[in-house]
Structure 1
C-alpha cells in the first residue's frame, strides 16, 4: 500500500504546524479528506478515521457554541480515533482547545490560510494521484491533439523516434523509456514520467535530448490520461487487410481496459501520421461519429436512387 507522511503534506501545501510537530512522520493512506461535522455531534457509524480531517468554519463555529465541558467531550471523542492529522482552513485562530488535545494525543494539527472548498479540492486531487496504484512499463507516452497515447514495442523498434516526429508536428511529449501508469478510477489511467527521466528523450544515433530545451515548454506536459495503447511491430507480409473497420482490441493495465492498435513498420510508412489518424478517429468515435456508417449510408442511398 502506498503512503505519504504528514510532513510531505506540510511541505507540499506550505502548512503551518500548530501541534504534534514531533509526530509529522504519521502516514496518510486514504486518498480523500473528511470533514468531521457529524462526528462532533456524536455520530460515528461511518467515520473514516484513516483520512485527513479538515476543519472549516462550520466545524470550528459549531465547537465555539459549546460549553467548555461539551467541547472537551466532543473533541475528545474524535481525537481518540487518532486520524493522521487535522488541518484547519481559512487561517482560523480561535482553536487553543484543539491545539491542547492534539498535543496531548500526539496528532499533528496544521493550518492553512486557504478557504475550505479550495483547499479540499487541491488536497483531494493531490492525494488521489499520490496514493493511486501504479506500475512502470517500458514504452513512450505522448499527447496527440489532447489524446493520451502509450507507445509500446520491442527495444529499437522506433518508439522514441516516432515520438520525436510527433513533437516536431506540434504534439506533446510526456515520458520516454519508463512510463508510470497510475489508476485514478475504475476507467481512468494516467500516464506520467518517473521524475528522473522528466523531459528527456533518448534517440538512437543522436543521444539524449532535453525536449523542453530544444522545442520549448509547450512540447512537454507532466501527465496525460491514457486512452489509446499503440504497439509498433515489425512488418508482416499479407497480415494487414484493407478492411473498412478494424475489430476492436484492448490491453488491460491495473484493471483498466484501453483500446489497442497495432501499427506495423515498413520503410516509407508515415507512422507518426498513422498515430495522428488513430487519435483523431478515436476522438470522433467518442462524439458518436463512424466513418464506416457514413460510407455504408452513402452506398445505400446510391443504390436506392
Structure 2
C-alpha cells in the first residue's frame, strides 16, 4: 500500500506546525481528508480515523460554544483514535485547548491561512494523486489536441520519433521510455513521467533532447488522462482492417480498460497524422458521432430515393 507522511503535506502546502514537530513522520495511507462534524456530537460509527482531519470555522466555532468539560469530552473522543494529524484552516487562533490535547497524544497539529473549502480541494487532489495505485510501462505518452495517448511498441519501432513529429505539429509531450500510470478512479487513468526523465526525449541517431528548451514550455505537460492506447507495429501484408468500422479492442491497465488501436509502420505512412486522426475520431465518438454510421445512413437514403 502506498503511503506518504505528514511531513510531505507540511512541505507541499507550507503549513505552520503548532505542535508535534517531532511526529511529522506519521504515515498517511488514505486519500481524501475528513471534517469531524458528526464525531463532535458523539457519532463514531463510520469515523475514518486513518484520514487527515481538517477543522474549519464551523468545527472550531462549535467547540467554542461548548463548556470546558464538553469541549474536553468532544476533543478527547477524537484524539484517542490517533488520526495522522489535525489541520486547522483560515488561520484560526483560539485553539489552545486543541493544542494541549494534541501535545498529550503526540498528534501533529498544523495550520493554514487558506479557507476550508479551498484547502480541502487542494489537499484531496494531492492525496488522491500521491496515494493512487500506479505502475510503470515502457512507452511514450503524448497529449494530442487535449487527448492523452499512450504509444507502445518494441524498442526501436519509432515511438519517440513519432512523438517528436507530434511535438513539432503543436501537440504536447508527457513522458518517454518510462511512463508512470496512476489510477485516480474507476475509469480515470493518468499518465506522467518518473521525474528523472522529465522533459527529456531520446531520439536515435540524434541523442537526448530537452523538449522544453528546444521547443518551449507549451510543448510539454506534466500529466494527462490516458484515453487511447496505440501500438506501433511492423508492417504485415494483408493484416490491416479495411472495414468501415474497426471492431473495438481494449487494453487493461490497473483494472481500467483503454481503447486500443494498432498502427502498422511502412515507409511513406504518415504515422503522426494517423494518430491525430485517431484522437479526433475518438473525440467525435464521445460526442455521439460515428463516421461509419453516417456513411451507411447516406447509402440507405440514396437507395430509398
**TM-score, structure 2 normalization:** 1.00
- Alpha-carbon distance in 2 for matches of 1:174, 1:274: 19
Deviation at 1:273, TM superposition (A): 0.3
**CA distance in 1 between partners of 2:58 and 2:52 (Å):** 17
Q: Take 1:37 and 1:189, find their aligned partners in 2: how far apart are those partners? A: 33
Q: CA RMSD in A?
A: 0.4
Kindly indicate whether residue 215 of structure 2 is the aligned counterpart of residue 215 of structure 1: yes
CA drift of 1:241 comes to 3.5
Shift of 1:243: 1.2
Deviation of 1:304 after TM superposition, in Å, equals 1.2
Q: Can you list the C-alpha shifts for 1:177-215, whole angstroms capped at 9, x where unaligned?
A: 000000000100000000000000000000000000000
Partner of 2:296: 296
Cα separation, 1, equivalents of 2:13 and 2:235: 51
Map 1:224-239 onto structure 2 (within 5 A): 224-239=224-239
| Residue matched to 2:24 | 24
CA shift for structure 1 position 123: 0.2
Equivalent residue, structure 1, for 2:252: 252
Query: 1:1-305 counterparts in 2 under 5 A?
Result: 1-305=1-305
Distance 1:101 1:213 in 2: 52
Structure 2: give runs of 5+ residues left out of the alignment. none
Q: Distance in 2 between matches of 1:240 and 1:124?
A: 45
Hey, what's the Cα distance between the residues in 2 that align with 1:17 and 1:227? 41
TM-score, length-scaled by structure 1: 1.00
Structure 1 residue 49 displacement after superposition: 0.2
- CA offsets 1:239-271 (integer angstroms, 9 cap, x no match): 113210111000000000000000000000000
Query: What per-residue deviation string (whole Å, max 9, x for no partner) do you get for residues 106-144 of structure 1?
Result: 000000000000000000000000000000000000000
SS at match of 1:228: strand
Q: Distance in 2 between matches of 1:269 and 1:22?
A: 61
Shift of 1:231: 0.2
Give the CA deviation at 1:175: 0.1
Structure 1 unaligned segments of length 5 or more: list them.
none
Distance 1:241 1:125 in 2: 42
Distance (Å, rounded) in 2 between the aligned partners of 1:17 and 1:147: 41
Cα distance in structure 1, aligned partners of 2:144 and 2:48: 40
Aligned residues: 305
- d(CA) in 2 for partners of 1:158, 1:86: 50
